[in-house]
Amino acid sequence: MRFRYLFLAAWTLSVALPANAELTSVAKDFLNQTKTFSATKVMASPTADGSYLMAMLFNQPNGSAGNLVAILKWTDEQGAQSRSLALSGSVPQGVVFPIRVAANSLVTVHTTGSVGTSYDLFVRGIGFWVPGSGSTSLSDYHTNLLLWSNATYPNKQTVLTAPAADKSYLFRVNINEPANTSTDSMCVDILSVDEYSRNQTQTGCASPNGAPAMMTFPLRVKGGTSVQLVTYHFTPPKWGGSPTYNLTVDVIGF
Amino acid sequence: MSRKFLALITLSCWLLTRSATASASLTEVRQDFLSQTATFAATDVMSAPAADGSYLISVYLDQPVGGTVGATIAWTDENGATQRYQALGGTAVFAVRLQAGTTLTVATSGTVKGSYNLFIDGVGFWN
């Protein structure tokens, strides 16, 4: 009998424990594309009007002379909408933006332009549903440097290490200083390696007037490599004591 | 039903509970302002966190052609400084550091044509 109560208690606990959110994941890869492609669904149509945060990341290998545009299309309560992302050269291009999707409508992506040797397009998204119920399969990572008063330069801190296979992430970075009278602006570099083994850097600098640097960007990270950060003084030398600053780096893995 | 079987079920249930919650330190922010026919003053979009928090916030505003409504998101960061982000007539995504015990507000301004919808969504990141 005691076991029966124990079982009931455990079951109740499993039901009552607060799950965090009903965030759903959107992930669609277009790898090693050698031609442009026509409108292709990136997710199942929602059965109710839904809100999503979408990210597109566009990349091509060194030497590929592609000049391309990726276009995501959706339908919101007002009608058809679209967002474009252009790619030329060897610097990957990324964009993060919210969309509102009408029930039973399509979200598609297509590419136009001229292809070099090949290109990759990654579409990622988070669907927002009813807060406080359900659970999410999205993984997350956090690195906080709170109330720091020294640059980490030249030392780097690891934010995450990708699994064996290449993986897509969405980054949220905020660096700020309490308003102060110095002219010392603290910066952060987010350092990563993309799927073509090229080093990539995203930079943000806090302002001594109290204005934060607020960054959101997608990254494609080569399998087995680490994403690292380093903080430094905007005005050389990069190292040494600094005004107090706060750096928060949060990442969603898809 | 044997005690061993019940114990096994209990253990499985506990493990299930652990696995369902261990990975998630993401919370969801969602506030919809549907079919608005007028601008509105600063309104909370979430409850105040108990500790300083990190958020990724998105703003999506859709309105008929001719409408010029914009949204202003305001919050207090961990330094006690007031921060604002203006999404004029469209969409925005930005990172927020929110001071414990304070909240994020949204207000709209501009000219309303017919009605508009405003959606504030976001993710809270917790260790």
B86 to chain A, any CB pair closer than 8 A? The answer is: no
Among A55, A2, A47, A11, smallest CA distance to A29 is for: A55
What would the two tokens of residue A64 be?
């590929």
Please judge whether A214 and B95 are an interchain contact, meaning their C-beta atoms are less than 8 angstroms apart.
yes
B81 CB neighbours in chain A (<8 A) are 176, 178-179, 210
- CB-CB neighbours of A14 under 10 Å: 17
Contacts of A84 (CB under 8 A, 6+ apart): A69, A70, A71, A72
Please judge whether B29 and A131 are an interchain contact, meaning their C-beta atoms are less than 8 angstroms apart.
yes
B15 to chain A, any CB pair closer than 8 A? The answer is: no
pLDDT of residue A23: 84
Task: Scan for tokens 């390696």, then name that residue.
Answer: A193
| Mean pLDDT estimate for chain B | 83
B32 CB neighbours in chain A (<8 A) are 51
ipTM of the complex: 0.79
B36 to chain A, any CB pair closer than 8 A? The answer is: no
B54 CB neighbours in chain A (<8 A) are 142, 144, 172, 174, 248, 250
Tell me if residue B18 falls in helix, strand or coil.
helix
Asked whether the predicted pLDDT for residue B16 surpasses 50, the reply is no
State the Cα–Cα distance between residues A252 and A171, nearest whole angstrom: 7
B90 to chain A, any CB pair closer than 8 A? The answer is: no
What's the per-residue H, E or C state across A67-91?
EEEEEEEEEECCEEEEEEEEEECCC
Instruction: For A24, name the nearest residue in chain B, comparing CA atoms only.
Output: B28
Stated pTM of the model: 0.82
Class in CATH terms, B24-125: mainly beta
Alpha helix ranges (H) inside chain B: 3-22
Instruction: For A81, name the nearest residue in chain B, comparing CA atoms only.
Output: B62
State the Cα–Cα distance between residues B117 and B119, nearest whole angstrom: 7
* Low-confidence residues in chain A, pLDDT < 70: 1-21, 130-137
B59 CB neighbours in chain A (<8 A) are 98
Query: B124: distance to nearest CA of chain A, Å?
Result: 9
pLDDT of residue B126: 87
Please judge whether B79 and A19 are an interchain contact, meaning their C-beta atoms are less than 8 angstroms apart.
no
Q: Mean per-residue pLDDT for B98-123?
A: 95
Tell me if residue A15 falls in helix, strand or coil.
helix
B71 to chain A, any CB pair closer than 8 A? The answer is: no
pLDDT of residue B88: 76
B27 CB neighbours in chain A (<8 A) are 20-21, 131
Instruction: Give me the domains of chain A, ranges plus CATH numbers.
Output: 23-128 (2.60.120.40), 139-253 (2.60.120.40)
A176 CB neighbours in chain B (<8 A) are 77-79, 81, 97
What would the two tokens of residue B55 be?
């958020």
Backbone φ and ψ for B40, nearest 5 degrees, come out as -140, 160
pLDDT of residue A55: 95
Among B107, B114, B63, smallest CA distance to B89 is for: B63
pLDDT of residue B89: 66
State the Cα–Cα distance between residues A7 and A183, nearest whole angstrom: 62
pLDDT of residue B15: 39
Q: Mean per-residue pLDDT for B11-19?
A: 38
pLDDT of residue B4: 54
Among A75, A119, A92, smallest CA distance to A217 is for: A92
Please judge whether A140 and B60 are an interchain contact, meaning their C-beta atoms are less than 8 angstroms apart.
no
Terminal CA-CA length for chain B: 41
pLDDT of residue A130: 65
pLDDT of residue A195: 93
**Strand order from edge to edge, sheet including A108-114:** A40-41, A108-114, A67-76, A79-88
State the Cα–Cα distance between residues A122 and A220, nearest whole angstrom: 8
Query: B92: distance to nearest CA of chain A, Å?
Result: 7
Q: Write out the E strands in chain B.
A: 26-36, 43-44, 53-62, 70-76, 82-88, 91-98, 105-109, 116-125
pLDDT tens digit string along B21-63?
A: 333 478 889 899 999 999 999 999 999 999 999 999 999 998 9
- Domain positions in chain B are 24-125
DSSP character at residue A234: S
| Among A53-67, B79-93, B105-119, the least confident range | B79-93
Instruction: For A176, name the nearest residue in chain B, comparing CA atoms only.
Output: B79
Nearest to A51 among B3, B60, B79 (CB): B60
A94 CB neighbours in chain B (<8 A) are none
pLDDT of residue A217: 95
Asked whether the predicted pLDDT for residue B12 surpasses 50, the reply is no
Please judge whether A176 and B6 are an interchain contact, meaning their C-beta atoms are less than 8 angstroms apart.
no
State the Cα–Cα distance between residues A182 and A201, nearest whole angstrom: 26
Please judge whether A7 and B79 are an interchain contact, meaning their C-beta atoms are less than 8 angstroms apart.
no
What would the two tokens of residue A191 be?
């350092």
Q: Are A139 and A123 in contact (CB under 8 A)?
A: no
Query: A198: distance to nearest CA of chain B, Å?
Result: 26
Contacts of A76 (CB under 8 A, 6+ apart): A99, A100, A101, A102, B60, B62
